[in-house]
Amino acid sequence: MAQTTLAQFVADHAEQDLRQGLFELESDRVLEINLGQGPGGGTRMIWMKHGAMIAYQGQIKFTREGMFEQGLGNLLKKAVSGEGATLAKAEGSGKLYVADGGKRITVLRLNNESLFVNGGDLIALEPTLSKDITMMRRIAAIASGGLFNVRVAGSGHVAFGTHGKPLVLRVAAGNPVHTDPNATVAWSGNLQPEFKTDVSFRTFIGRGSGESFQMVFQASGAEGFVVVQPSEERALQQNSG
């Protein structure tokens, strides 16, 4: 069995200041957020997934997102969806470390762009980005899967988590992409997915199978993309059963 000294363990796993800016990947599963170290310094604020904080240094205050902070429309959408992806504010100066159940973290920089992220996979985003809860068009699909997503738009950083390395599939006109809702994490802002029920497949596999419900992504104009993970969200599978 491999052994190591205490000093070597600390050296191998100690936090490293890579000076990459506001969002810095400390590892592929831990995100370091450098509050108060952006342009001009001073106090900064970010939105983070409620409960994602694992450690911090400095003076940072956490405030759960207010009931009406996203507006009455988003409040009603969350009430209907029944999802628990509540956000929290982290304000102050220092280093904040966040993670989400051991998921692999991806950090993207949006430049006047938009992206849809599954509500349960969103980990953190800058306040420079707008956020709006959107829901699938078919109420039956929402009730079965409990799915809702967050549209983030503008310029700034956003972080989301995946079980394993994400796969990006391009969506071009005339070449739709079908995905399992349990494995779908994010997609480009120009795409509007629809739900499809494969009745024969559901009958063959069983009503609890995720494959009985599929998300269909089609590009009517510019090419888009969809992000999937090599694992299915078990909680969503149980709800859809």
For 149-185, how does the pLDDT look when each residue is reduced to its tens digit (9 = 90+)? Answer: 899 999 999 999 999 999 999 999 989 999 988 899 9
**Closest residue by Cα to residue 146 from 117, 182, 179:** 182
Domain that holds residue 214: 17-240
Residues β-bridged to residue 95 = 34, 57
Q: What is the rounded average pLDDT for all residues in the chain?
A: 80
pLDDT band at 2 (very low <50, low <70, confident <90, very high): confident
Of the candidates 124, 128, 112, 178, the one whose C-alpha atom is nearest the C-alpha of residue 150 is 124
> Per-residue pLDDT tens for 71-121?
444 444 444 334 445 789 999 999 999 999 999 999 999 999 999 999 889
**Would you say residue 218 lies in a domain?**
yes
The pLDDT confidence band at residue 235, using thresholds 50, 70 and 90, is very low
Q: Give the residue with greater pLDDT, 143 vs 122.
A: 122
Q: Is residue 25 part of a domain?
A: yes
* Residues 6 or more apart in contact with residue 232 via CB below 8 angstroms: 180, 182, 183, 210
Domain assignment of residue 1, yes or no: no
pLDDT of residue 30: 96
197: in domain: yes
Confidence of residue 232 (pLDDT cuts 50, 70, 90): confident
- Per-residue model confidence (pLDDT) at position 40: 60
Q: Is residue 3 part of a domain?
A: no
- Are the CB atoms for 173 and 220 separated by under 8 Å? yes
pLDDT at position 57 over 80: yes
Question: DSSP string of 151-218?
Answer: EEEEEEEEEEEESSS-EEEEEBTTB-EEE-GGGEEEEETT---EEEE-HHHHHHH-TT-GGGEEEEE-
The confidence score (pLDDT) of residue 4 equals 84
Residue 42 — pLDDT band, cuts 50, 70, 90?
low
Angle at 239 between CA 238 and CA 241, to 5 degrees: 65
Q: What is the pLDDT of residue 75?
A: 45
Q: The domain spanning residue 128 has which CATH number?
A: 3.60.160.10
Q: What is this structure's pTM?
A: 0.80
Identify the band that residue 141 occupies on the pLDDT scale cut at 50, 70 and 90: very low
| Structural tokens at position 57 | 């240094």
Q: What is the DSSP-derived secondary structure letter of residue 52?
A: -
What is the spatial distance between Cα 211 and Cα 240, in angstroms, rounded to a whole number? 11
**pLDDT tens profile 179-207:** 988 899 999 999 988 887 765 554 444 44
Specify the number of domains making up the chain: 1
The DSSP symbol for 35 reads E
Whether 12 is covered by a domain: the verdict is no
What are the contacts of 62-68 at 24+ separation with CB within 8 A?
Answer: 62/88, 62/89, 62/90, 62/91, 63/88, 63/89, 63/91, 64/88, 64/89, 65/89
Return the residue matching tokens 């998921």: 103
